[in-house]
Amino acid sequence: MNRCLPFIALLALSPGLAQADPLPGLPPAGQQAYRDYQNAPNHRAFAIAPGGAWAWHASADSTDVAEAAAINECQANTVQKCVLYASNEHVVFAARHWPELWGPYADRATAARAKRGKILGDRLADLAFRDAQGKPTSIDKLVGKVVLVHLWGSWCSPCRKEMPELASLQKALGGQKDIAFVFLQMREPYATASAWLKKQHLDLPLADSGSRNESDEQLRLGDNTRIVDRDIARTFPTTYVLDKRGLIIFSHTGAVHDWPQYKAFLRHAATHSGK
């Protein structure tokens, strides 16, 4: 859930506060929240996180209090790490460190202790599927690569809306052998999802989840047992990114704004995880 703290103010824009580039990853509502923030009185702070969460706080007793409140409120709405974007009239965001926020990455011993689950640091369920070439495989067999697992359906409006950006991201990174994309259709046949992609002229390596129809909520696992899709995806779309040890380093329910910016995150994980 994205959220900003409500504050109504009609002050002039502070002259020292930069407003040139859109804040990374924030949807239009978040960009508007930042414009509201710019017009708020000191002491104030604005925090953001990968995945599009944000929060801001104004009229605090001190700048330190405003910064802590913004971080805490942002953190209450995301599992990702929140960082300050602005404090009073100053942009303090360190763009070069932004792609590092999926880390630090687990070492071998930590990964060995990881349980199955769907939160950061867990090992995702070993979903079984056929890859784009029709070969049977599963999530566990992709350990050693950074893996973006995307659960979607062509019947799902938010899924359809973000798919061109995901296609752009996959195209940009498709040549990197240690990054894999697993697009799994939910509650529809593979042929239906594939036909929709072709109609949209989207060239994606679509995997086959094995789903047969709109009432099919069962996903097969690598050991031939099954799991209910809602056990790993509260709604669709849902996305997980796994590091090279197979642990979840990013999870998001719903559409993600500006998928192409995540090239840097995926490349950082590919370079630094699994060491």
Q: Which residues contact 242 (CB under 8 A, 6 or more apart)?
A: 124, 139, 142, 146, 147, 149, 248, 249
- Is the CB of residue 259 less than 8 Å from the CB of residue 162? yes
Q: What is the pLDDT of residues 134-164, one digit of tens each?
A: 999 999 999 999 999 999 999 999 999 999 9
Give 4's pLDDT tier (boundaries 50, 70, 90). Answer: very low
Total-model pTM? 0.91
**pLDDT(208) > 80:** yes
| Number of residues that this document lists for the chain | 275
Average pLDDT for 16-41 = 83
Question: From CA 142, how far away is CA 64, in angstroms rounded?
Answer: 44
